[in-house]
Structure formats: C-alpha cells, structure tokens
Chain A
Amino acid sequence: MTARANIYRIKVRISEIKVAKGDAILVSYGLGSCVAVAIFDPKQEVGGLAHVLLPGAPRPEDNPMKFSESALELLVEEISRMGGSQNSMVAKIVGGANMFPWAASDKKKAIGERNVDAVLKKLEKMGIPVAAKDVGGSEGRTVEFHAGKGHITVRNIRGEEKFL
C-alpha cells in the first residue's frame, strides 16, 4: 500500500462544513459559482473547508452553512474547538465562477463574484488573512485541501492542476 492510500479523504458538499486534523484531505467537487473557503491553523495543523452557496446572512429558518456570514463563523468555531487559534488562522479561497457568461439575467451574472466579495469581506472582519485565491472565470473547479498543512490543489475539467 502506498502512503497516499492511507490519507483520509472527506467530501464537503454544497452547504456543508468539515473540519479535520493532520493528513486528512477535504474535497469539494465541481464548484461553479459556489465558493470553497479553506481556513487552517498551521501551528496546530488543523483546518476546515466550507462550501458556501450564497452571500450574506441567513434567516432564522435557513441552514447557516449555506450563507457566507454564518458559514465562516461556524467554520472558525469548529476549527477552534479542535485546537486551532483564530490569531494564527489563514484562509485560502477558490471558486466563484460564472458558468453561463452569456445568460440574460444581470443579477445572476454577478453571483459568483458576489460570493467571493462576501467571503473576502467577512474574512477581513474576522481578522483572518487570505494567503491565496483562485476565483472567477467561467470554469468549474475541484478543490482538494490538506487540512493540516493548508496545501490546496485546484483541478479543472481537463485535469489541469494549480497549487495554492
């Protein structure tokens, strides 16, 4: 068995948050206008990934993991619970594409961008620096995030990879 096969992979679907320690890989497949927000504490080797669908804050009846404001608060809370400290946390963000650049509606045209803006604003408010980002464009992305080290691999449909 190779070392790679021992690495523990966790799927993070739309409106989900997952947190892990050490060598676990958190994966979000096929991001379009959604934004994957990875936050980690490199000292404690703990990190988490939020797959955010919408900008802004939820209403009381909504799933808080779906919206940027509440999802980021929950993500930081969960990482702290696993030993991370907010002062040493660093973020990387991926996604926010516009999959249908020629779609008629102007409101929808901006949704990916609005998601990215909302996430950046919230991170700034929380005092978490953004170490890297791969956002915008009109292509889908798959994100693999090494929770402990904070390394990210972004892959497109042609299998081309970027490392953040």
Chain B
Amino acid sequence: MNFGTLRPEQLDALREISNIGIGHAATALSQLIGSKVELYVPRVTVAPISEVPDIIGGPETLIAGIYIQMYGDARGNILLTFPRQSVTRLLGMLLPGGEMTGEGILTEYAASALREIGNILAGAYLNALGGLLSLTLITGVPAVAFDMAGAVVDYILIELGAVGDLTLVIETEFFGDPEVRGHFFVLPDPASLEVMLAAGNLMP
C-alpha cells in the first residue's frame, strides 16, 4: 500500500480511530501527572518524508523525542515530540523540584520519566486502537532523545524511507494547565497500514 493512494474518507476514518485512541492516552496521562490533559487529533496527513522536520518546528529546534516501536498484528513506529518548554512543564508536574534539563541535556531521572510517559501514552493508544480494530498491538521499550528535531526524526524516517517517500502523520495536540504541547506521530509500515484499514473495513 502506498500512502499517496489513501482516499480522503480513509484519512478521516484514521483520524476518528486515532482520536479515540488518543482520548484513552490523555486519561492515562492525566492520572499520571494529577492534572487534566486533553489530547486532540487535528489532522491526519500524508506528507513527504523530507518535510517532517518542518512540521515539528524546524530541523534545528530543540525537542524531546520519545520513540516506541509497535509490534503485533501491525508494525510501525510511534514518535512523541515535545518542545523544550512543554517537556520542562511536564517533568515539573511529574517530578517536582530539581532542574531536569539543560541545553540539550536530560538527567537520567528525567529521561526515565519521559520513557514512562511514552510507555503510558503509546500503551493506552495502542490498546484502544487494537480494541477497535480487533488487532493485537504491543509497544516496545521506549527510547528518549533531547536534541535537534531533524536529528531525532531522521532515525525513524530511515526505516520508512526504505519503502517510499511519503509518510502518514497522525498529528496530536496536547492541551493542559499549564499548557503542554506536543506531537504524536504514528508511522505504520505500509503493509501494516493495509492491515489496519482492512480491520476497520476501510479497504475499497
């Protein structure tokens, strides 16, 4: 399956499914940090791989990236990205006290907290998605990087790049008090996208 051939109604359906999954992830995150966080999927887009760094604010912007592999009936990658200010706030809510970040430096304590956030968000999302589609979806061990957006993202693009020039981006906005913003990219392998669409009765 080529991402370029996805029809608008298939993209809409993926957005709906993702909104439900993301809703579960928001509830899990709110419980973890003890403060209400809402997540919303404004867009599901098919974008050229080379444009992904620009979508998250430009390739040289400092971001925290949490990368989680998806296994099971569908395979792919999940990438959560948070701009610096948001990651500082998020960590502040989780781990009160102490400076967690420097210029491009995360303490091991902070990295560990971010891996846990990744686990909870991706786990809740895939549970909901798997439930809706009757697929078994499992998360891998999260990995964290705090660096230039371009550098954090190209790692994931490499795997996608081997099979095409386009990627499916499920963009997510986080809203909380204090404000936390982020992006949630779900990047299924092309073959797995087909499995997901078929499970949702969205194939032609």
Whole-angstrom CA separation of A141 from B147 in the bound complex: 9
Quick check: is A66 within 8 A (CB to CB) of the other chain? yes
Contact yes or no, B155 A104, CB < 8 A = no
Instruction: Identify which of A27-35, A42-50, A72-80, A117-125 touches chain B.
Output: A27-35
Q: Which residues does chain A contribute within 8 Å of B58, judged by CB atoms?
A: 29
Q: Are A100 and B67 in contact (CB under 8 A)?
A: yes
Contacts A32-B153, A105-B140 supplied; 16 other A-B pairs, CB < 8 Å: A15-B49, A30-B152, A30-B153, A32-B148, A32-B154, A53-B161, A54-B158, A66-B165, A99-B151, A104-B69, A141-B148, A142-B59, A142-B148, A157-B62, A158-B104, A159-B103
Interface presence of A162 (CB below 8 A): no
* Chain A interface, number of residues (Cβ within 8 angstroms): 33
**Known interface pairs A29-B59, A30-B60, A54-B158. Does A99 touch B69 (Cβ–Cβ under 8 Å)?**
no
A13, A30, A100, A102: most-surrounded residue (chain B CB, <10 A) = A30
| Majority DSSP secondary structure for residues of B touching A | mixed
A32 — which chain B residues lie within 8 A by C-beta?
147-148, 150-155
B interface footprint on A95-139 (CB within 8 Å = 1, 0 otherwise) = 001011111110010010000000000000000000000000011
Identity of the chain B residue whose Cβ is nearest the Cβ of A105 in the assembled complex: B69
Instruction: State the 4 A-B residue pairs at the shortest beta-carbon distance, nearest first.
Output: A30-B150, A140-B151, A30-B59, A32-B151
A29–B104 CB distance below 8 A: no
- State how many angstroms separate the Cβ of A60 from the closest Cβ of chain B: 14
Q: Cα distance A122–B96 when bound, in Å?
A: 52
Contact B161 A66 (CB under 8 A): yes
Chain A contacts of B141 at CB under 8 A? 102-104
User: Is A23's beta carbon under 8 Å from chain B?
Assistant: no
Which residues of B come within 8 Å of A, CB atoms?
49-50, 53, 58-60, 62, 65, 67, 69, 103-104, 140-141, 143-145, 147-155, 157-159, 161-162, 165
Is there a chain B Cβ closer than 8 Å to A14's Cβ?
A: yes
Q: Contact between A99 and B145 (Cβ–Cβ < 8 Å)?
A: yes
Chain A interfacial positions (CB closer than 8 Å to B): 13-16, 29-34, 53-54, 63, 66, 97, 99-105, 108, 111, 138-142, 156-159
With A30-B53, A103-B143: A53-B60 Cβ-Cβ less than 8 Å: no
A98 to chain B, nearest CB (A): 8
- Nearest to B153 among chain A residues (CB) is A32
Given A142-B60, A157-B104, residue A33 in contact with residue B155 (CB < 8 A) = yes
B155 interface neighbour in A16, A29, A100, A139, Cβ under 8 Å: A100
B53 contacts across to A, CB distance below 8 A: 13-14, 29-30
Question: Across the interface, which residues of A come within 8 angstroms of B152, CB to CB?
Answer: 30, 32, 99, 140
Given contacts A30-B53, A157-B62, contact A139 B151 (CB under 8 A): yes
A113 to chain B, nearest CB (A): 12
Q: Which residues of A contact B159 (CB under 8 A)?
A: 108
Q: How far is the CA of A99 from the CA of B153 in the complex (A)?
A: 9
Cβ distance A80 to chain B, nearest Cβ, rounded Å = 25
B197 → chain A closest CB, angstroms: 22
